[in-house]
Structure 1
Amino acid sequence: MDHASGTRARTGLALLLTVALLSGLWVPAHAAPKGPRSSGRTGSAWLPYWGDVDAAYRDAVRHASQLHTVSPFWYETSGDTTVKGHQGAGRHDIIDGLHDAGIEVVPTVTETLGARKMAALMHDPQRRQDHVDTLLDLVDSRSYDGLDLDYEAMALTGDREDRDRVRTGYNKLVKELCARLHDLDKQCVVTVLARVRGSGQAFDYERLGGYVDRFRIMGYDLHWSGGDAGPLSARDWYEEFLRYATGTVPRHKIEVAFPGYGWDWVSGVTGHAAHLTWKEAEALREREDAEYRFDKVSGTPHFTYRKDGAEHEVWYQDGRGVRAQLPLLRKYGVRGTGLWALGFEDPEFWSALRDA
């Protein structure tokens, strides 16, 4: 084979491998899922630090056969070298119990600095290194299996310049963090907003997807407490962000997280919805003798009731809704699922995932 022919053959092979990687048909050895997920578990879930933490932990253990990872929502950073633990953070009994159940423990870290301060931190090489060192110290403080960065505050900006600086700075931070976590045989995970309809522009899906082991997309809060009433998730919305995500991130890394909760809006009042878990929403519906309605377009339940002379509108998610939305994941070849959050969800959520 001459040089030109060999070059064409290598180029063709590289193109085929790239297509296969993005489609999820081929997984390079260094990126192959490790641990429990290799035994067929496809789910992850967050464990909140508030409410009945022990009940949430028992929920995880009860469904261990479907969970490869639990991410305790335990930590928050507010500076280069400052990571604060929430109440109960780092509980050895929870970590050990999850490990005994065959579940990996990858705690979540959030940030409070916002766009401009985080951008300044991430673009300064020394400050960025100090921040990575601090995160690695956290991983080393317990028998953790990696780290999940859920840096949302910095992404909630409408300023294009700030957003661009956040996006390029976050690429640098995640690249360095993942490289060092991988040197320690630890997982590197990011949680991001759905990139659709103007949202999620602060996250560079393509580059981040190349660095991380798992790429979690928050498939919820299409409508949220700070806006108008409506479904938290919707099938056409899933279609939009999955089309983009699977075109830029290898499918085997993607996880779509479903909501196990809802919002209670007062009709005509924007920005003051009350949070409800599925259990709380159903208890409220029964107490108010409200009719259960299911919106087939979005694939979510909802109901209305009156209190103190005001009309309330509640949208939430249940097992029926998850069954209606799961086909979108299958359509795009995504097997990874997530749950926000343990202890919030309809018990039928687990049956829906198992039957999918």
Structure 2
Amino acid sequence: MVEIAVVNVGDTIWTIANRYGVSAEDIMNINELTEDLSLVPGQALVIPSNSRQFYQYYERRSNIFRNRIETNAYIRAEEQNAVNLVYKYAPYLTYFSVSSYRALANGEISALDDTAVVNAIKQTTAKPILVITNFTGEEFSPEITRELFTNEVARDNFIENLLAIMIEKNYFGVNIDFEENYPEDRELYNEFLRTITPRLKENGFLVSTAIAPKISPSQPVAWFGGLDHDYAAHGEIVDFVILMAYDIGGWFSGPPQAVSPVPTVREVLNYSTSVIPNDKIILGLPLYGYDWQLPFDPDVDFAETIGPREAVNRARQQGANIEYDFNAEAPFFTYYDEGGNEHIVWFEDARSMKAKLDLVNEYDLRGVSYFVLGRNFPENWALLSKMFSIEKYNN
């Protein structure tokens, strides 16, 4: 049972607590609020169960009836507070995908200072997943992947180097995040996966790929390429895929709109579940939104990335009320900056995340993945723990 309260004009934590018959302290704890911050009209709060006794009973019962899913979150290894993020979010996660190692065209792999974060993960009940990309630091490179796909020496070198790192660091699995490959290299990518996956699995590693969102074999969503990602082949070859269902509406250099609108996510799931087994699909969701200055010119402007709690704080500072688009299932607000420029902010809140988490149940998916840890969003983790039981591997 999950209840979400939407703040009305004049509401306080105490009036909401009285309305739902719960303590103000419990509301503050579950939503990580403080007494000194006023609520924002339109803000969404997760409401705790109305008594400790009921909550304990509900927890016992819901462990029987809640779907058990796998959960993943990407974490940047070299982020300053990465270790603290591990300890904070490990109870909610099956995996941390440690981002990221970079493949080079000759099969070498760039170094990554991941020792501290991997060691922290090993002290928790979650498992570390190594993320390997074809990112150069500025863009995803199709030249790198073509060389790995077509040059046997480079490919073998890459496989040996990847295995050496995973064995040395004691990773649990790998997430291959090769993006924006040449569309004509789609079958080459499939053959690459058919070559590398058995080698990794015979060494005891879990293998996954990140795939771009599409609504048909030839119709990618938004700015993503994805024509190089053969959904059916990936679903057949690897243990699971992470379906990147974010930036499929608005993105930093795209139109101001919801980042992960539910109708589009549903279209992507309708196609993906038609060619990939449901229990191999992990739905990727955003832990961020964007602030666009208007009018937005995609040729020259870039939106500011903003976290869910940052967005609420900005609405408070600007005196803006938060509105909700019930079609996209996403919150937004507008404001004017000190220079008189209009802005619009689309982000995620408890309502929008619940709408997407409901899809995990509806489509009977393997689980959910978050991109990327580092921005505060306590409502999401409260929802996740209320709606699902989290799969954990024995150490």
TM interval, shorter chain, is 0.7 to 0.9
Q: In structure 2, what is the equivalent of residue 133 of structure 1?
A: 160
SS in 2 for 1:220: coil
**In structure 2, distance between residues paired with 1:320 and 1:203:** 31
2:114 alignment partner in structure 1: 90
Q: Match for residue 378 of structure 2?
A: 347
Change (3 A) 1:71 1:228: same
Query: Which residue does 1:188 correspond to in 2?
Result: 207
C-alpha distance in 1 between matches for 2:79 and 2:90: 21
Q: Does 1:46 align with 2:68?
A: no
Determine the C-alpha separation between the residues in 1 that align with 2:239 and 2:120. Answer: 24
1:164-199 alpha-carbon deviations (Å, 9 max, x no partner): 22x112112222221111010111111111122424
Cα-to-partner distance string for 1:289-311 (whole Å, 9 max, x where unaligned): 22111111111111111121211
1:78 alignment partner, SS class? coil
1:177-231 deviation line (CA, Å, top 9, x unaligned): 2111101011111111112242422100111111111210111101211211111
Query: Who is 1:163 aligned against?
Result: 183
Structure 2, unpaired ranges of 5+: 1-66, 388-395
1:329–1:41 CA distance, 2 compared to 1 (3 A): closer
**Selected match of 2:191 from 172, 181, 203:** 172
Q: In structure 2, what is the Cα distance between the partners aligned to 1:204 and 1:303?
A: 38
Matched, 1:205 2:231: yes
Q: 1:69–1:106: 8 Å Cα contact kept in structure 2?
A: yes
Unaligned runs of 5+ in 1: 1-38, 155-161
SS at match of 2:175: strand
Contact 1:242-1:329 within 8 A present in 2 as well: no
Residue identity (%): 23
Structure 2 residue matching 1:312: 3-state secondary structure: strand
1:169 maps to amino acid: L
- Aligned partners of 2:199 and 2:251: how far apart in 1? 36
CA deviation after TM superposition for structure 1 residue 245, in Å:
1.1
Question: 2:91 is aligned with what amino acid?
Answer: S
Cα deviation 1:90-114 (Å, max 9, x = unaligned): 22x4323212211110121221362
Structure ranking higher in helix proportion: 1
Residue 312 (structure 2) aligned to one of 278, 282, 294: 282
In the aligned structure 2, how far is the partner of 1:62 from the partner of 1:224? 28
User: Which residue, 328, 332, 336 being the options, matches 2:363?
Assistant: 332
CA root-mean-square deviation: 2.0
* TM-score (normalizing by structure 2): 0.72
What is the one-letter code of the residue matched to 1:75?
Y
Q: In the aligned structure 2, how far is the partner of 1:321 from the partner of 1:59?
A: 23
* TM-score normalised by L of structure 1: 0.80
Which residue is 2:26 aligned to? none
